Amino acid sequence: MKRTILVTGGAGFIGSNLLRLMVNKYSDYTFINLDKLTYAGNLENLKGLDSFDNYTFVKGDICDSNLLNDLFNKYSINAVMHLAAESHVDRSISNPMSFIETNIVGTVTLLNAAKYAWDGNYDDKIFYHISTDEVYGSLGETGFFTETTSYDPRSPYSASKASSDPLVRAYYHTYGMPVKLSNCSNNYGPYQFPEKLLPLMINNIKNNKELPVYGDGKYTRDWLWVDDHAEAIDVVFHKGAIGETYNIGGNNEWKNIDLVELLCDTMDQLLDREVGSSRSLIRFVKDRPGHDRRYAIDASKIKDDLGWEPKVQMQEGLLATAKWYLEQEEWMSRIVSGAYKEYYSKQYNS
């Protein structure tokens, strides 16, 4: 079946990796990438895709209902992959409002535009909302998040995502819109903005800067290689049941300090530095307020129902990630200097 898919937030970390997979794999689909290009959106993440006939970039805001109505109309969009979001917990602590606007108001604006355009004709339509495991809150030493775990978000970021998820479900229950949702654990890999743990640490190690580990460093995250997430999104989009939610995870829990130490050792090797030299940069710093202690995903539903499992192991993925950032010196330096923002005006003459 031919599809025209509106991908929101496609210039971000996961969206750009997802688009690279999908645009290449599905030449009979058309992809419209709608992105506001906030500080986290970077068209340099998508270099090469512009030459594909089945890919179009549109700069714009998911809160702009007129723009959304125009796009649904102009391109006859019959599916949405919704990734656009404010996504960094620390930023949500200092500025919650933009998280409320984009993650909650933006999601409802997008739902309304789909509802208006599809006008009750939901044959072959899909609205797929990409969400996070952080909606479930914080675990103790044991246990896993399942799809039926109660929501207990504790940061403005996770609270905004936890508000958007039931709104998406409400459009399924109330209006019959064919929705799908997935809640994923921490992603890592190429093109992640260097404010998140791994790219920040890689950049600091490279530049011999201190490595700020929050609190006691024993906070635990489940890490998933970003291309494994992109493949899971592909699987849920095509095979997932309407109205269902799927948890996506890597079965790959790491305490932050253990992960940072493994990264330090990997970087020592790659940079040909004395063993232990990067570890000496580690500093325990003031904790993040409301810091969730542990996230862990039970991903058995997506495995049993849809046959998806993560493929890339941590050592392999971490080495590939570290190498990628070291090789993409220009990409990193243009982000650090802010120069990546010029790409849009050069590329699109505005």
Catalytic residues: 133-134, 157
Rounded-to-10 torsion of CA 187, 46, 112, 107: 30
Give the span between the Cα atoms of 310 and 20, in whole angstroms. Answer: 18
Among 5, 6, 13, 81, binds ligand NAD (CB under 6 A): 13
* Contact status, residue 238 vs residue 126, Cβ threshold 8 Å: no
Residue of 31, 84, 92 lying closest to 60 (CA atoms): 84
Q: Is 242 in the site for ligand NAD (CB under 6 A)?
A: no
45/278 with CB nearer ligand NAD: 45
Residue 163 near which of ligand NAD, ligand TYD, none (CB within 5-8 Å, type-dependent): none
Residues 15-74 that bind ligand NAD (CB under 6 A): 15, 34-38, 40-41, 61-63
Block residue for tokens 């479900």: 169
C-beta of 121: minimal distance to ligand NAD in Å?
26
C-beta of 106: minimal distance to ligand NAD in Å?
5
| DSSP state string for 244-264 | -EEEE--S-EEEHHHHHHHHH
Give the span between the Cα atoms of 122 and 108, in whole angstroms. Answer: 18
Give the binding site for ligand TYD (CB under 6 A): 89, 186, 196-197, 200, 212-214, 219, 221, 256, 288
Residue 109 near which of ligand TYD, ligand NAD, none (CB within 5-8 Å, type-dependent): none
3-state secondary structure at position 218 = coil
Q: Is 317 in the site for ligand NAD (CB under 6 A)?
A: no
Q: In the structure encoding, which two tokens stand for residue 239, read together? A: 């095979």
DSSP 338: T
**Binding positions for ligand NAD, rule: CB under 6 A:** 8-9, 11-15, 34-38, 40-41, 61-63, 83-87, 102, 106, 130, 132, 161, 184, 186-187, 193
